[in-house]
Amino acid sequence: MSQLDLLAKPRPTLLRMPSWLGKDVSDEHELPHSPGDYKVTPGGEDDRWMVTCLKTGEVVYRGIGPVEVVRSLAPF
């Protein structure tokens, strides 16, 4: 694969969430849509954060936070 091929490929969207491994460690899960297609709602009364896909209405995450939806620095 050439360098030009790598630059042309879109970078994946990641859901970044806390890990059980420690405070400074996060887990990442790849998401199918662009970062702007997700809404992150901080924890409310129950301290659970929620990530919703705006295109489908699907809740893709509900759990401990903080969480963020980001574009990966690496290509697919």
pLDDT one-digit tens code per residue, 28-71: 999 999 999 999 999 877 889 999 999 999 999 999 999 999 99
Residue 58 maps to a domain: yes
Show the DSSP H helices in the chain as ranges.
3-8
Is residue 76 a part of any domain in this protein?
A: no
Residue 2 has pLDDT above 80, yes or no: no
Q: What is the pLDDT of residue 5?
A: 56
Tally of structural domains, the chain: 1
Q: Confirm whether pTM is higher than 0.85.
A: no
Model confidence band, residue 1 (pLDDT cutoffs 50, 70, 90)? low
d(CA 64, CA 44): 11
Q: Is residue 15 part of a domain?
A: yes
Q: Is residue 28 part of a domain?
A: yes
The β-bridge partners of 30 are 14
Task: Please give the residue that has the higher pLDDT: either 2 or 50.
Answer: 50
Structural domain that includes position 25: 11-71
